[in-house]
Structure formats: C-alpha cells, structure tokens
A and B are shown apart, each in its own frame.
Chain A
Amino acid sequence: MKILVTAKRVTDPNAKLVIDDDGSWIDDDVEYILNPFCENAVECALQLAADHDAETIAVGIGDEEVQRYIRQGALARGIDRGIHVEADEQELDSDLIAKILKALVEKESPDLVVLGKQAVDGDSNQVGQLLAEMLGWPQATFASDVKIEGDEVIVTREVDGGLEKLAVTLPAVITADLRLNDPRYASLAGIMKAKRKPLEELELDDLDLDGEEPKVRVVKLHEPTGRSAGVFVADVDELILKLTTEARVL
C-alpha cells in the first residue's frame, strides 16, 4: 500500500506579516510552520501506514525553502520519503496545485491521498476536492476518523448537527480535520534521521505542467483598514444619541 500526503509550508499564524511596498506579496522574511491540518494528515498517514504496512510519501510545492518543512515536518515524524515540486508560490492557485498533485498521483500510483482540509494561510479549502474530481476518485473531506477496511476507507466527518460516516472505495482522497488526531512530535532522533531520507526534487516540466497558468491570481494585498479608538459614553441616552447622530445606525 502507498499513501501520498501533503506537507504545505504556511506563514506562522502568530507572525506579523509585512506586505511588500507594491502590494504584490508578503515579505518572506517571516516565520513559517507546517500547515497544522497537514500535521493531522501526516499523523493520519503514519497511523494507517503502521497498521497496513504502507509506504508514505510527503509532497511540498514551492521554492527550495519548502524542503525544510517536508523534512522536518513530515520525514522527521516518520514519513518515508519526500517529493519537492519547485514552483513560484505567487504563480500557484488551488487548481494548479491540484493538477500538480494529480500528476504526482499518476507518477506514484498511491492507494490513498491524505491532505489537510485547508491551509491556514490562504484558507481556500479546495485542493482535496479538486484533486478527487480530476482523478475521478471518491473523496471524504473534513475527516475526524479514518479506518481502512478491505478495499474501503471508513471516514467519519464532522457535519452540522453531528457526525456523518462514509465508506469510500480505494483509491480515494481524504482531507484531515483538526480533531482527526493529535500529531506526534518530530523527535530529535527523527530530525537527525530525516536528513538522510530521500527527497526527490521535481520541476513542473518533469510533470508535463510547464507553462500551466493559475486560474486565480493575487491582484493586490493590503492591510485591513485600521480602527479608530472607541469612546466611553456616560449613559444609555448618550449611546442612543451617538448611534443616531454619529454612527447613523439607528
């Protein structure tokens, strides 16, 4: 059995992002982490691999720095090997990422692809769904429990008002939700071992995707408009007066 899992690098949600002067992108001198949902996906792949004797492969897409997060976020936790697809992050959208993953699926023929349900930077929540559609595979998104039984994956999903249980036939695409598992530590021994694990470097050309254009482009980034300081009002009458005359919401 073979499991392909995503290892996306995202900006640390606690970091202060600085937008370039021309508003085209963010200053990349910022802390990055492995996407937390990808951590759940990696943990899911490792648990399934332990129970079903599977080979595990982690994929990252972006510039060379991405390799660090494949190694330290995925290989250091126990994923067998990595694939880095070199690409300019500004030239990627969910559609093109799904196409890259589809090409990798055709190259590697995994039985299962596990992705984070979304990346916490763009919050698009599209890649898993697009990939399943492109492959013509069944999908089970927002998984909170995953079990393989024979040639089916039994996935529990968190939906409004309760839990939904799906059985999807393999091969399949699964996206991991936060409560799927508690990701293990990348142990210090794992970090050292990860340096010696194979990490394949590919370019879009190697996947016959050279010249593919994203369908969505970032036109401009800007900071949220600042808020002016609040004021204290003496009583309800003054509040109503201000809401009526100044805020004009009443």
Chain B
Amino acid sequence: MNATSHNPSDEQADLAAIRTTVRRFVTREILPNIERWEEDGSFPRALYQTAGEVGLLALGFPEAVGGVPSSEMATLVVVEELARAGSGGLIAGLLSHGIGLPPILALASDDLAAEIAPAILRGDKVCALAVTEPGGGSDVANLRTTATRDGDDYIVRGSKTFITSGMRADWLTTAVRTGGDGAAGVSVLAIPGDLPGIQRSELQKMGWWCSDTAALHFDDVRVPARLRCGSEGMGFLGLMHNFNRERLMLAGMAVAFAEVCHADALEWARDRQTFGRALITRQVVRHKLVEMQTRILGAKALLHQTARQVDAGGEPVAEVCMVKTLATDTLEFVAGEAVQILGGMGYMRGTRVERIFRETKVLSIGGGASEILRDLAARQLGW
C-alpha cells in the first residue's frame, strides 16, 4: 500500500480535536485569570485576539468572511469547554458577535459583510447586538428606536438596554424602525461604535460580572445609509434568523454549567467530612446528586438531539424553545442544589458554584424568557 489518502476524519475525531484546542485555551488563558476578571468586572480586549488566533470566534461562520463552518455539535463542544471556567459572562462577552454578526451576514451585501466580518472573527473588532429597548424586551416587532432617512444617511434616535459588550463594541448591530408599525417597519443598521451621538452607560448585574453590559442612547446619530443591512423592512427576518442558534447556545451553556455544578458538588460531597463520615455517604445527599445528574442527562439528550436536527438542516423552532427552557430550568435546580451541598462554602465568592448560581436567572431570561418561549412553542405546534 503506497497510496496518498485524503480520508476525512469522522465527526467524533473533529469534535475531539476542537475540544483539545479549546481546553488548552481555557486552561492557559482563562482559568488563571477568571477570578480576577470577574471581580474586576471585565476581561482584557486582547483575549478576543487570542481567541481569534485559536479560531474560536470564526467557528460556525462562512469561509468567505474568514469563518470556519461547523456544526452545532461543534459549537456545543466549544461552549462545554469554555464553561469549565465557570463564568457565563466570559462566554457572553467573548462570543457577543455570535448574536451580533449573523443578522449582518444574513441581510447585508457580500461587500458590506466582507468589510465588517473578518476583523470581528479575527478578534480585532468587537461586535454587539442592540435590539432590546427599555420599553420592551421580547417584543422586537414593536421597537421604537427610529432611523429617519436624510440624504445618504439615517438619523438614528432612541435607546437600547441590556446590551452585552455594549460598552466596548466597535460594531453595534442595531434594530431600528425605518417604516411603519410592526415587524415590517424594522431594519438593521451596522453602526460603528465611534459615531458622534452614541452614549453608553454601564449596567451593574446580578451575575455575568466580567462581561460588560450597557444601556445605549442614540442622540440623532448620523449613520451612512450604506451600512443598512439588506433592504428596509427586512430587519425582523434577519433577527429571527438569529434566535434558534442563540437559544441553542444558551441551552448549551445551561447544560454545561449544570455539569460543572454537579462535578463540584460531587467532589465536595466526597471530600467533606461531617460527623465522622463523608457527605456522600448520606442518603439525602446521594439522592440529591442522582436527581441532579438525572435532570442533566435528560436535558443533554434533548440538547444533542435538537442540535443534530439543526445540523441536518432542520429548523425545529418549538424543540429549540423547549430545550432552552428545559436546560435553564435544569440549571436553576442543579445550581441551587449544588450551593446547598457545598453549604457555607457554596455561599462564598470564589467557588464556581456560587458564581454559576448567580448566573442562572440570566439564562432563564435572556434570549427569550421561559414564559415567552413556552408560548412560542405552543404556537409553533399549532395549539
């Protein structure tokens, strides 16, 4: 046998290789620093560039703009490994382009996409999605920030809030109203962060400390019309496009963090001696740990099944809603039980369990609150 082979490795080998690289990145770049970044309320911008070199930011984006196309399963592997650092804020901040960039790519011309995307995927520019407004979160169709045409520009006026990476984003993928009421009047503008008239103020949060979250005010900001992504009125469709991926990723974070909580609780229960015996020998603790694991396995099974459906080209909107609610409910339960098992230590800053417990609610609310998603699932199922 003297042949030159080009056998593609199977999916498992790819996923294992991706896991190896991301694990190394997390071990070297994140784990030694995460405590400090969380307490400081920020992580260095240089981390975007390192992540860019590793290719982490490019994963799942088209090759034409410098991306590395991949499966949802690969994204879940990345999220699982990043979750080992026990900081959702880091994931949300580092990967804020994961929601900020897809609407641009879905709507904008190839030229505009090529102008904006590569620097973001390299980690040289930070991208944030600016949709939510003080007047309403999930009700995208009724947003009130306006963009009024004036010659070759739009004049943008209005406010956005809860914007992840909003403090330092170089590109703000902003949903604006260019037309009449409802979804048909919504457009998307790629707004450079340094335009005059953009005011940013930092918001303090329950969790996700190391990701910056901003309220943005657009005070008659003049935005070149060529930065509109797609035609006027197409914005809503481009934004909807985002939701499945975002929700699947949030579900992935929730399951991964639940696994971290379970692992830390299990380790604690094995080590911790009470009344002369390890905690894990107590039936009440054993049952807790098994119940946690049971719920995790259930959520993970649905997560992988749904991801594979998406990878096969499906758009299982109802299932994505359901897996996100199942995963975040699971995390709320598991993180609560993990804190309980760790006892006093679980209440102390500096453990992963304490931090993740503070981050459960953001996952149950962000990217579509559980109540909204259950309603959407019912409608999708024709009920």
B4 contact from A33, A186, A192, A199, Cβ within 8 A? A199
**0/1 string, B268-301, CB within 8 A of A gives 1:** 0000000000000000000000000000000000
- The answer to whether A191 and B8 touch (CB under 8 A), given A202-B1, A206-B2, is no
Which partner residue on chain B sits nearest A193 by CB separation? B68
Among A41-49, A68-76, A116-124, the stretch in contact with B: A68-76
**0/1 string, B1-38, CB within 8 A of A gives 1:** 11111111100011011101100110000000000000
How close is B284's CB to chain A, nearest CB, in angstroms?
30
Residues of A within 8 A of B59 (CB): 188
Among B49-57, B86-94, B164-172, B191-199, the stretch in contact with A: B49-57
- Bound form: Cα–Cα A196–B63 in Å: 15
How close is A203's CB to chain B, nearest CB, in angstroms?
6
- The answer to whether A188 and B1 touch (CB under 8 A), given A72-B13, A76-B17, A195-B8, is no
Residues of A within 8 A of B4 (CB): 198-200
Residues of chain A from 173 to 211 with CB closer than 8 A to chain B in the complex:
185-192, 195-196, 198-203, 206
- Bound form: Cα–Cα A187–B68 in Å: 10
- The answer to whether A187 and B1 touch (CB under 8 A), given A195-B9, A198-B6, is no
Cβ of A201 and Cβ of B68 under 8 Å apart? no
- Which interface class (under 10, 10 to 19, 20 to 34, 35 or more) fits A? 20 to 34
How close is B118's CB to chain A, nearest CB, in angstroms?
12
- Bound form: Cα–Cα A234–B6 in Å: 69
Residues of A within 8 A of B69 (CB): 192
- The answer to whether A187 and B17 touch (CB under 8 A), given A68-B9, A195-B9, A201-B3, is no
How close is B268's CB to chain A, nearest CB, in angstroms?
21
Residues of B within 8 A of A76 (CB): 17
Cβ of A187 and Cβ of B14 under 8 Å apart? no
Chain B interface residue count, CB cutoff 8 Å, equals: 27
Tell me, yes or no, whether B351 is within 8 Å of chain A by CB.
Answer: no
Residues of A within 8 A of B16 (CB): 68, 72
- Bound form: Cα–Cα A90–B55 in Å: 37
Tell me, yes or no, whether B70 is within 8 Å of chain A by CB.
Answer: yes
Tell me, yes or no, whether B58 is within 8 Å of chain A by CB.
Answer: yes
- Bound form: Cα–Cα A136–B305 in Å: 58
Which partner residue on chain A sits nearest B3 by CB separation? A201
**Interface of chain B, main secondary structure:** mixed
- The answer to whether A185 and B9 touch (CB under 8 A), given A190-B55, A202-B1, A206-B2, is no
Residues of A within 8 A of B7 (CB): 199
Residues of B within 8 A of A202 (CB): 1-2
- Bound form: Cα–Cα A76–B55 in Å: 12
How close is B177's CB to chain A, nearest CB, in angstroms?
38
Which partner residue on chain B sits nearest A198 by CB separation? B4
Cβ of A68 and Cβ of B56 under 8 Å apart? no
- Bound form: Cα–Cα A166–B54 in Å: 35
- The answer to whether A189 and B58 touch (CB under 8 A), given A68-B9, A196-B6, A198-B4, is yes
**0/1 string, A82-125, CB within 8 A of B gives 1:** 00000000000000000000000000000000000000000000
Residues of B within 8 A of A200 (CB): 2-5
Cβ of A187 and Cβ of B2 under 8 Å apart? no
- The answer to whether A71 and B9 touch (CB under 8 A), given A191-B17, A206-B1, is yes
Residues of B within 8 A of A201 (CB): 1, 3, 5
A185 contact from B2, B13, B25, Cβ within 8 A? B25
In this complex, which of A185, A190, A195, A202 has the most chain B Cβ atoms within 10 angstroms of its Cβ?
A185
Residues of A within 8 A of B55 (CB): 185, 187-191
Which partner residue on chain B sits nearest A197 by CB separation? B6
- Bound form: Cα–Cα A199–B20 in Å: 21
- Bound form: Cα–Cα A72–B20 in Å: 9
How close is B20's CB to chain A, nearest CB, in angstroms?
7
- The answer to whether A191 and B2 touch (CB under 8 A), given A72-B13, A185-B54, is no
Residues of A within 8 A of B9 (CB): 68, 71, 195
B13 contact from A68, A199, A206, Cβ within 8 A? A68
Residues of A within 8 A of B8 (CB): 195-196
Cβ of A188 and Cβ of B5 under 8 Å apart? no
Mark B residues whose CB is within 8 Å of A.
1-9, 13-14, 16-18, 20-21, 24-25, 53-56, 58-59, 68-70
Question: When A and B form their complex, which 9 residue pairs have the shortest distance between CB atoms, in order from nearest?
Answer: A188-B55, A187-B55, A72-B17, A189-B55, A189-B68, A191-B17, A185-B54, A195-B8, A198-B4
Q: A185-B25, A185-B54, A196-B8 are in contact. List 19 more A-B contacts (CB 8 A).
A: A33-B20, A68-B16, A72-B13, A72-B16, A72-B17, A185-B21, A187-B21, A187-B53, A188-B18, A188-B55, A188-B68, A189-B58, A191-B14, A192-B14, A192-B68, A196-B6, A199-B6, A200-B4, A202-B1
Can you list 18 residue pairs at the A/B interface with Cβ under 8 Å? A72-B20, A186-B20, A187-B21, A187-B53, A187-B54, A188-B55, A188-B56, A188-B58, A189-B55, A189-B68, A191-B14, A192-B70, A195-B9, A196-B8, A199-B7, A202-B1, A202-B2, A206-B1
